[in-house]
Each structure stands twice: as structure tokens, then as C-alpha cells.
Amino acid sequence: MSYRTIGTVLKGQTVMEGAGVRLQRIFGFGDTALTDPFLLLDHFGSNDSADYVAGFPWHPHRGIETVTYMLEGVVEHADSMGNRGTIGAGQVQWMTAGSGVIHQEMPQPTPGTMRGYQLWVNLPAASKMTVPRYRDIHAEDIPVIQRDGAEVRVICGSFGGASGPARDIIAQPWYFDVRIPPGRSIALDVRVEDTVLCFVVEGHGCLDENKTRLFAPDELAVMARGNAVLYTAADDGMRFLLMAGKPLREPIAWRGPIVMNTDDELHTAFEELRAGTFIKH
């Protein structure tokens, strides 16, 4: 077994997005090769509804998949495919934008804390213009696997004989929510060819065999190569998101919510948006 070591450490930076949502951008609009096939990870939420209630009004996406995972609070959503509803605590919205979707996500005022995460997964060139799809995943449909005292929620991918409810995903990523009790360790096998990202949500802990540093919430490790990762929680326990996927290693032309492979494709997308011909299906 070859345990992965820490490659690069990324920390959240405060940015304003949407109509005025204050959030932590963990990565995005930077070195896309570092996190390929993942493009962006945002943590939105606060104890103050003024930080998020302006929301993310109607906006387009093309060429990517967006994954919204709520830990606390509620987000109302609607899109050009006719989907409409809410994403509550423990729920996941997995949207394949493909050839084009226009949607909105509006966090609702919540007593206490609002906490949500949005991950963007790139689509390969052959699937950029695929038919858009939407999946509304409820908390009770996400399998929970117990391993060495830890708890693994399998949103996408396979672990411990269980498969996550987000299936037929083009990039075939893994997306796990892992809780480790105080002072305990867990080893997780990973695919050697994958980019592996570990993002701490709660508590503190080490993300490698050598315990090179103690990670805190809103810190992410891009792991070096290997076929397993050893995690150890500190005295307050640790919760983290594991994201793993095979790099696409394709050129990227990216502006705002649209990600294509060439500047011509990007130009066409924005021209179609202006002309009202953006939606293909």
C-alpha cells in the first residue's frame, strides 16, 4: 500500500458572488491542472442571512456539472429544464449543464447557520454539448458506511460495497462526506490515477501518514500520488469532503459560468446567450 502525501495546501479566500453573496472560494479560476477534473469549490453560508440572502439569480452554465451539497439551511432553485424545488440539509443537487442551462439558486433566511458547498466538475470535450440533466438527491438516499469507527456518506462513486445515488456521471468522480471520531484513524483506498482532494469541513486532523500538519476547516489538500490515504482526527474529531476524479488533461477556455475547450467555443456560447439561442434542449 502506498499512502498519499500532501501535495499542495489551499485555503479559502473571501469573495462576493451572485447578487452579493459572501463566500469562501477554496479554489477556482486559478491553476486548473492542479485540481483537474474539478474546477471550483465554494463554501457559502453564515450566521448572518445578510451574507447570503441576495442569492444567485438567473445565470447560465455550459460545459460543466455543478454539485450543490447542503449541510444546514435551505436553497430554493429553478432552471430552464422546468425543475423547481428546494435543497435542504443533507440534500444534493447534481446538475449536468452540458449544452446549456439557465438556473437560479436562492438561499433562504435560516435561524442559526446556513452551510452549503458548490463543486464544479469539468466535462470532457466529447460531452460539452450533451443533453442537460438534473438529479435531486435526498439525504435518506445517500448510503452511510461504517469503517474503523468512521462514517462515510457515499454521494457519488463506490465504497464499502455501496454506490452513491449520483450515478452515470460522465467524469465518474468520487464524492464522499467522511466523519472521524476524536483521535481515530481511517485508511481509504483511492484510484491511483485520480486527482484526490480532501477538504476539511469540521474539526481538525491530519490527512497523511506522516501527520505533516494539522488541517482546520476551510483548508484543502491536493494529495500526491498513491493508492490510499490515511486520515487521523484530532481531539475534536474531523469531518471532510473527499473528491477524486481522473484528470481530463484537455485545454480549457473559461469565462464566468461557462467552460469550453477553445476560445471560439467560448465566444459562440456568449454570442448565443445574447441572441437567445443558448438553450439547445
How many whole angstroms separate alpha carbon 23 and alpha carbon 55?
11
Identify the pLDDT of residue 168: 86
Burial label, 103 (beta-carbon count in 10 A; 0-12, 13-18, 19+): buried
- Residue range 6-275 forms a domain whose CATH class is mainly beta
Identify the pLDDT of residue 110: 86
Model-level pTM greater than 0.95?
yes
How many whole angstroms separate alpha carbon 259 and alpha carbon 120?
10
Provide φ and ψ at 119, rounded to 5°: -115, 135
The predicted-structure confidence for 117-141, as pLDDT tens digits, reads as follows 999 999 999 999 999 999 999 999 9
Identify the pLDDT of residue 281: 82
Judge whether 281 and 227 are in contact, CB under 8 Å: no
Element (H, E) at 275: helix 263-275
Classify the C-alpha dihedral 270-272-277-279 as positive or negative.
Answer: negative
> Strand locations in 126-165, DSSP E?
133-137, 144-147, 150-156, 158-159, 162-163
pLDDT of 273 strictly over 90: yes
- Identify any residues that bridge with 119 across adjacent strands, giving them in sequence order: 41, 67
Report domain extents, the chain.
Answer: 6-275
| Best CA proximity match to 243, nearest among 148, 122, 133 | 122
pLDDT of 108 strictly over 90: yes
The predicted-structure confidence for 11-61, as pLDDT tens digits, reads as follows 999 999 999 999 999 999 999 999 999 999 999 989 999 999 999 999 999
Identify the pLDDT of residue 265: 98
**Assigned C-alpha cell, 220:** 484543502
Mean local confidence (pLDDT), 142-163:
96
The predicted-structure confidence for 69-98, as pLDDT tens digits, reads as follows 999 999 999 999 999 999 999 999 999 999
Mean local confidence (pLDDT), 264-279:
98
Mean local confidence (pLDDT), 223-231:
96
Q: Which contacts qualify for 17-23: CB closer than 8 Å, 24 or more apart?
A: 17/42, 17/44, 17/56, 18/54, 18/55, 18/56, 18/57, 18/59, 19/54, 19/55, 19/56, 19/57, 20/54, 21/51, 21/52, 21/54, 21/55, 21/56, 21/107, 22/46, 22/51, 22/52, 23/52
How many whole angstroms separate alpha carbon 221 and alpha carbon 272?
38
pLDDT of 166 strictly over 90: yes
pLDDT of 223 strictly over 80: yes
Judge whether 66 and 118 are in contact, CB under 8 Å: yes
